[in-house]
Amino acid sequence: ELKNKYLELKKRRGGKKAVIAIARKLLTAIWHILSKNEVYSAKLYRKADKPPAARELTMTQAITFLRSKGFLILDEESGEVL
């Protein structure tokens, strides 16, 4: 399961980032196993890999997100910067 995740990440992000992501995933699992005395369950960690089914943002959230990514938001009608 980790090999498949690594290969998937390697395609999208590159080998070094994929190694770090897998290492973090393993460390998180180990921490939970040792601190909470629970058994490893792969399905608990698979859940977090998938994005939510319905992604909805308010207009304010969308504008804030785009600004954080470096976009300049213009109002089409007035031409002013939002």
* Confidence (pTM): 0.51
Tell whether 33 is covered by a domain.
Answer: yes
Please say whether the beta carbons of 82 and 75 come within 8 A: yes
Q: Which two tokens stand for residue 73?
A: 């938001």
Q: How many domains is the chain partitioned into structurally? A: 1
d(CA 2, CA 26): 9
Tell whether 44 is covered by a domain.
Answer: yes
d(CA 36, CA 39): 9
Q: Show the domain range for 30.
A: 1-51
DSSP state of 76: T
Can you give the pLDDT of all 82 residues of the chain as single tens digits?
888 889 989 998 899 999 999 999 889 888 888 998 888 777 766 655 666 667 788 888 888 988 898 998 888 888 888 7
Tell whether 1 is covered by a domain.
Answer: yes
